[in-house]
Structure 1
Amino acid sequence: MGFAEEHRKWVEDHISRRSGERRGRLERGHGHGERIFLEKVWWPMMGHFNDLHPEYEVVDWRSKPYFVDFVWKPGQVKFAFEVKGYGPHVQNTDRTRYRQELNRETYLQIAGYRVVAIPYDDLDASPELTITLLRPLLMPYLDVKMEEQREFSRLERDILRIAVRLNGCIRPVDLVRELGIDKRTARKGLGALSEKGKFIPIVSEESGRVCRYEYIHSLKDIQLW
């Protein structure tokens, strides 16, 4: 299942479990900047929205509610992600509001959040840079056990590397060309990875047969290589 469908289900799930202003804020506040961050940065890194909460309510030092764009809570650690555009955050003529925003970021850190500012302009111009910066920051908090590291064979790891390099879609013929293996071995490797949840087989409408495989992105795979 692709980003658009998973994103829709994720937002609808959070909306269904909220009421009042918490629900209204999610319906109003989850806009273009937040969605493009998810589509171009979070989804390519993670491949899922587990432990990620949109428009997350935090009570500030004045006992007033404040909504963070995203909070990621994989266990005990808490990350607060804020997508920031140049206009609203740098050229803001409301100096009181600007001071409050800076103070809120400091308070979030006091409350145990690791605050990460995401430049909106980079999401369009260079999302790869944002991914490069986030990977080493988030990776220590991903639970990759030793048995998971042994889950993939050498061939399967090679297939995963090639799939990432080919932007997520791969065909058996790509493996024949890249690895020098026969088609039967290529199909067997892709089939095994599909059973492990790493690929989605895509069926051709014309032939009714599997023609290619779509890689399911995961930041954990970087540690498996």
Structure 2
Amino acid sequence: MSLFEQAHQAFLRQHIENRTGERKGRLIRGHQYAEKLVLQNIWWPLFGNFDHLHPEYEVYDWKRKSHFLDFAFITPFGRFGIECDGYQSHVKDMDRERFSYALNRDTFLTGLGWRMIHFSFDDVQQHPEICRTLLQLAIGPYSLRNNPIDKVTRVEKEILHLAWQLGRPIRPKDVSHAWGFDYRTSRKHLQSLTDKGLLSPSSRGQTMRYYEIQESALEQLL
């Protein structure tokens, strides 16, 4: 049995044992293949644990009507609702009234401080790398690694934004043009971001050095 399977079974067992009534029944009925795939393909590769994550989490709408989120990620940094939506059940078979309710429910939860995150089942199954990138970007304030990086300065954060907007590897020359730094200072900032794992250097030609933005930098762009 893989490490994920062991952790997943322990995760479900803990929540089932701590619930009663309909909340327990909903978890047993509702956490099926799609929900497990979200954990296996998206959550586990990023976190390596299920800390602060609650499956089939009950929330209420403006009429005190009960509704269960696929997952709730509740931390001191915020509350995140995570849903896996299948095309057949969530779009194709949805009438106008249910469609309106789904939009209003998400808006209501947003007003209560939730950040709602939706993934299609197709992407979870076929393009999990896209889902992982988007989840990193959405959760942002919460560290997704066991060893958090050193603090990023304001200037370095602006350089990351520039690197993202360029759509190509960034050069010391780009930093110098943007902020008026000399070449040595620009290179120093880029090297600092490289040391923190947010950029990766690559040489092109004999003298010019470029820096590629890394996936780990996405959470710093918020």
TM-score range (shorter-chain normalised) is: 0.5 to 0.7
Kindly provide the amino acid, as one letter, of the partner of residue 104 in structure 1.
Answer: R
Q: Distance in 2 between matches of 1:13 and 1:44?
A: 21
Q: Distance in 2 between matches of 1:91 and 1:69?
A: 19
Matches within 5 A, 1:23-172: 23-142=24-143, 149=149
- How many residue pairs get aligned? The number is 153
1:9 equivalent in structure 2: 10
Shift of 1:148: 5.9
Shift of 1:64: 1.1
Which stretches of structure 1, 4 residues or longer, exceed 4 Å deviation after superposition? 147-150
TM-score normalised by length of structure 2:
0.63
Are residues 148 and 138 of structure 1, via their aligned partners in 2, closer, same or farther at CA, if it must alter by over 3 Å? closer
Which blocks of at least 5 consecutive residues in structure 1 are unaligned? 151-218
Q: Distance in 1 between matches of 2:84 and 2:53?
A: 15
Kindly provide the amino acid, as one letter, of the partner of residue 71 in structure 1.
Answer: A
Shift of 1:107: 1.0
Shift of 1:111: 1.2
Q: Distance in 2 between matches of 1:136 and 1:13?
A: 29
Cα RMSD over matched residues?
Answer: 2.5
Are residues 148 and 102 of structure 1, via their aligned partners in 2, closer, same or farther at CA, if it must alter by over 3 Å? closer
Shift of 1:149: 4.9
TM-score normalised by length of structure 1:
0.62
Are residues 70 and 148 of structure 1, via their aligned partners in 2, closer, same or farther at CA, if it must alter by over 3 Å? closer
Q: Which has the higher contact order (CA 8 A, sep 6+)?
A: 1
Which blocks of at least 5 consecutive residues in structure 2 are unaligned? 151-214
Q: Distance in 1 between matches of 2:118 and 2:94?
A: 20
Q: Distance in 2 between matches of 1:47 and 1:91?
A: 34
Kindly provide the amino acid, as one letter, of the partner of residue 135 in structure 2.
Answer: L
